[in-house]
Structure 1
Amino acid sequence: MKINPKTGIDKLIFGMLQKDVEEVYGKPDKISTDEDDNKILQYNKQKIRLTFYEDEGFKLGYLITSNPELLLFDKKIIGRPISEVQKELEAVGWTKWEKEEFDTLENYFNEPNWTIFQAEFDEVVKVEIGAIINDKDEVEWKFKK
């Protein structure tokens, strides 16, 4: 399962509709809605959660995963020290990081790539990636069908 920066994860591309995702992964294990009426799909085998934004015609706009096979630039992410991951990413231009702390969790946010690495006990445990919002405050949808 590969992160495609600014585009999605694996075969999931920002801008897909639920039916497009189901053509790839089949029916989700769980479907719910959040407080903003966005649709949330969960796939247990892939360890991934997908958010489809209600105000954008239910297009796929956000992904959260803890899949241990997750790759970024051909390197595994989950279970590795966050400092090691950051150092590798800084070598390819991911230099700006915002850090937030919550109890034992730390979030490392890279806004240019709209990616959050969540670490606990100094190891990456989860990755969140969102569709890019441009300077005109518009979402840059990547899926073309």
Structure 2
Amino acid sequence: MEVRLKFGLDQLLYGMKQNNVEQIYGKADFQFFDEDENVVLVYNKLKAKLTFYADEDFKLGYITTSNSELTFFGATVLGKSKSEVLELFRANKIEKWETEIVEGEEMLFNEDNWVFLYFDYNELIKIEIGAVFNNQDEFDWKFKA
């Protein structure tokens, strides 16, 4: 499952609607509404949660995953050390990270690509990626219906 920063994950593109996703992956194992009334689809086999933004006509805007087959730039990353993961990003010209540590778990965030990396025990355990904004401060939707 290749992460395509600013575009999506695997066959998923930011801006897809729930029915577009279901045509690819079928019905989710379950779904719920988050605190902002966004729809979140959960796919157990993919180990992914897909968030469709209520205030954006329920377009796919955010993905959380801990899928062991996840790749960035062609390399698998889950289970890798922080230094290994950051070296991969540096080699692909992504070097600016904000860091936050909560209860020993370290979260790194790169705003330009809207990617969060979660490390626990110095191992990448989860990523979150989201749609980015364009120059007009609007979401840069990649899926064109």
The TM-score range, normalised by the shorter chain, is: over 0.9
1:85 is matched by which residue type in structure 2? V
Which residue of 1 is the match for residue 109 of structure 2?
Answer: 109
- Unaligned ranges ≥5, structure 2: none
Give 1:140's aligned residue.
140
- Per the alignment, residue 80 of structure 1 pairs with 80
TM-score by length of 2: 0.98
Task: State how far apart, in whole Å, the 1-side matches of 2:34 and 2:135 are.
Answer: 27
Q: Alpha carbon RMSD of aligned pairs, Å?
A: 0.7
**SS at structure 2 position matched to 1:23:** helix
* Correspondence for 2:12: 12
How far does residue 82 in structure 1 lie from its aligned partner after superposition? 1.3
Paired residue for 2:60?
60
Runs of 4+ in 1 over 2 A off after TM superposition: none
Distance in 1, matches of 2:5 and 2:95, equals 14
TM-score under structure 1 length normalisation? 0.98
In percent, how many aligned pairs have the same letter? 47
CA deviation after TM superposition for structure 1 residue 87, in Å: 1.2
Distance 1:30 1:14 in 2: 20
Q: Which residue of 1 aligns with 2:3?
A: 3
* 1:103-130, Cα deviation, whole Å (9 max, x unpaired): 0211111111100110000000001000
Q: Which residue of 2 aligns with 1:35?
A: 35
The farther-off stretch of 25-34 and 126-135 is 126-135
- Secondary structure of the residue aligned to 2:99 is strand
Indicate the residue corresponding to 2:51 in structure 1. 51
Flag structure 1 segments of 5+ consecutive residues without an equivalent: none
- The number of residues matched between the two structures is 145
Distance 1:137 1:25 in 2: 31
